[in-house]
Amino acid sequence: MQVPNIVSMKPTVIIGAQWGDEGKGKVTDILAKEADYIVRFQGGNNAGHTIVVGDKVYKLHLLPSGAVYGKKSMIAAGVVVDPIVLCKEIENIEKDGRKLDLMIDPLCHIIMPYHKILDKAKEQSRGDSKIGTTGRGIGPCYSDRVNRSGIRFIDMLNPETFRSKLISKLEATNPILEKIYGFDPLSVDEIIESYQSSIEKLKAYLGDVSKAVYEGLDNKNVLFEGAQGTFLDVNFGTYPYVTSSHTISGGIFPNVGIPPMALDVIGIVKAYTTRVGAGPFPCELEDENGEHLRKVGHEFGTTTGRPRRCGWLDLFMLKYSNRLNGFTHLAITKLDVLSGLDKIKIGVDYQIDGQSVDFPMTIDQLEKCEVVYKEMDGFELEQGISSYDLLPDNAKKYCDFIEEYLGVKVSMISTGPKRSETIFVREGLAMKMA
């Protein structure tokens, strides 16, 4: 498949514009064909990025999606790594006969067994106000990074350093596990033993990602792959129903360790909205339309298998997402899933007591918002269409409306999970039709 150069030679970042699972894996994989480096910069194995190549489905949690093309794949310092999960993923890719060219930054923080236990125990103790985390230990691991008690790859390279850091960590953590949550204490030796073989294996991949990316910026095509989505950002998402990292485009700089620079920012916009886990969701549908989206879109979590909550496209929310990320291009995904609906609604404004408001800063305010919808006629669209001209008129109108409302050009439209099921709209729809 020819992949048109839809973005400039600036470094490019793929960002989930909504609550995750927008199809970042598919778009990253497609663009990886023309990229030299593909860099994951935040999150951990809470992510689940699906790539479909022929009959084969890859679900990547930690490996950048460039790994399927065998491109130089990098895990930057901002990613939290579960070494056991990463080793399994590497084995799966290699078992498939694919060569892996991987670099992991030694400054990555490591997800330890107590992070996973604490993640689940804290969720349990939240009762009705559960966040609905993936249970992968992400929050506790990032907490340790910030409170300066984390263990990084580089600390594990020297057995004495690893042991002494682990001893002091368990001195502080075991009483919490035992006294607050009623778990057995963890043993230093058992943890070291359970991590030893994966750390040994991963040692071969360690390298200074910050330096490699910096040096590559002049003459390499660098693609940054975001995980999660804008509204899961730890600062600007629907706090506290968020993840623990910065998911917005500016997060790249401190997480990779490169200076600020102009980027092409591709916002991945699912043609409707989904969310896994708890938290407000103004455009949520709990009727047959929501059921249609879940069923036709196979909206079940890639990482946890949980049913995803589904709703109409929320352009008002995406306007805020655009402000946070500075999208230069949009990729609309899963347009085929809307096929067969008689009428389609799009959220275009939020109001409280009949007055339009900015996107609220608190979830209490968000819960008070009434969504104003625009209604459009539905369409029948066969999965897999790869030419813009073959899109039904109402589907074109839908994409046009997104482009006009947000003022950002739509450069790609996805109509199925496979690489070939993609429409490249090189200059944006409006320019194409002019």
Which does residue 326 bind out of Mg ion, ligand IMO, ligand GDP, none, counting CB within 5 to 8 angstroms by kind?
none
Element (H, E) at 294: helix 288-296
Residues 31-50 interacting with Mg ion (rule: CB under 5 A): 48
Which amino acid is it at 376? M
Q: How far is the CB of 425 from ligand GDP (least distance, A)?
A: 14
| Among 166, 232, 381, 408, interactor with ligand IMO by CB under 6 A | 232
Q: How far is the CB of 47 from Mg ion (least distance, A)?
A: 6
Q: How far is the CB of 115 from ligand IMO (least distance, A)?
A: 11
Q: How far is the CB of 372 from ligand IMO (least distance, A)?
A: 26
Residues 289-318 interacting with ligand GDP (rule: CB under 6 A): 302
Secondary structure of 54-108 in HEC code, one letter for each residue: CCEEEEECCCCHHHHHCCEEEECCCCEECHHHHHHHHHHHHHCCCCCEEEECCCC
Stretch that binds ligand IMO, among 44-52, 286-294, 316-324, 403-411 (CB under 6 A): 44-52
Identify the active-site residue in 29, 49, 61, 82: 49
| Among 72, 169, 309, 334, interactor with ligand GDP by CB under 6 A | 334
Please give the Cα distance from 147 to 244 (Å, whole number).
13
Length of the chain equals 434
21 is catalytic: yes
Q: How far is the CB of 232 from ligand GDP (least distance, A)?
A: 11
Please give the Cα distance from 62 to 326 (Å, whole number).
25
Please give the Cα distance from 7 to 33 (Å, whole number).
13
Q: How far is the CB of 151 from Mg ion (least distance, A)?
A: 27
Q: x/- string (CB under 6 A) for ligand GDP, residues 29-48?
A: -------------------x
Handedness of CA 130, 81, 59, 412 (dihedral sign): positive
Q: What's the Rg (C-alpha) of the chain?
A: 22
Residues 263-292 interacting with ligand GDP (rule: CB under 6 A): none
Q: Is 148 exposed, middle or buried (0-12, 13-18, 19+ CB in 10 A)?
A: exposed
Residues 276-315 interacting with ligand IMO (rule: CB under 6 A): 276-277, 302
Using rule CB under 6 A, residue 415 touches ligand IMO: no
CB of 49 closer than 8 Å to CB of 415 = no
Which does residue 46 bind out of Mg ion, ligand IMO, ligand GDP, none, counting CB within 5 to 8 angstroms by kind?
ligand IMO
| Among 14, 17, 21, 334, interactor with ligand IMO by CB under 6 A | 21
Residues 114-173 interacting with ligand IMO (rule: CB under 6 A): 131-134, 136, 138-139
Between strands 264-270 and 329-333, the pairing is: parallel
Residue found by looking up tokens 């352009």 in the block: 315
Please give the Cα distance from 424 to 410 (Å, whole number).
9
Handedness of CA 261, 264, 268, 269 (dihedral sign): positive
Which amino acid is it at 116? K
Query: Among 271, 341, 340, 260, which residue's Cα sits nearest to residue 312?
Result: 271
Q: How far is the CB of 52 from ligand GDP (least distance, A)?
A: 5
Which does residue 415 bind out of ligand GDP, Mg ion, ligand IMO, none, counting CB within 5 to 8 angstroms by kind?
ligand GDP
Please give the Cα distance from 288 to 290 (Å, whole number).
5
| Among 7, 18, 25, 186, interactor with ligand GDP by CB under 6 A | 25
Which does residue 42 bind out of Mg ion, ligand GDP, ligand IMO, none, counting CB within 5 to 8 angstroms by kind?
none
Q: What is the dihedral of CA 151, 155, 158, 162, to 10 degrees?
A: -20
For residue 89, CA distances in Å to 4, 143, 180 come to 30, 25, 34
Q: How far is the CB of 164 from ligand GDP (least distance, A)?
A: 38
| Among 46, 244, 274, 302, interactor with Mg ion by CB under 5 A | 302
| Helix and strand numbers, DSSP H then E, in the chain | 14, 19
The smaller minimum CB distance to ligand GDP, of residues 169 and 309, is found at 309
61 is catalytic: no
Identify the active-site residue in 21, 105, 119, 336: 21
CB of 333 closer than 8 Å to CB of 306 = no
For residue 212, CA distances in Å to 79, 199, 220, 222, 330 come to 16, 22, 10, 11, 28
| Among 6, 7, 21, 31, interactor with Mg ion by CB under 5 A | 21
The smaller minimum CB distance to ligand GDP, of residues 50 and 247, is found at 50
Please identify every residue annotated as catalytic. 21, 49
Site residues (CB under 5 A) for Mg ion? 21, 48, 302
Site residues (CB under 6 A) for ligand GDP? 16, 20-26, 48-50, 52, 302, 333-334, 336-337, 414-417
Site residues (CB under 6 A) for ligand IMO? 16, 19-21, 46-49, 131-134, 136, 138-139, 227-229, 232, 243-244, 276-277, 302
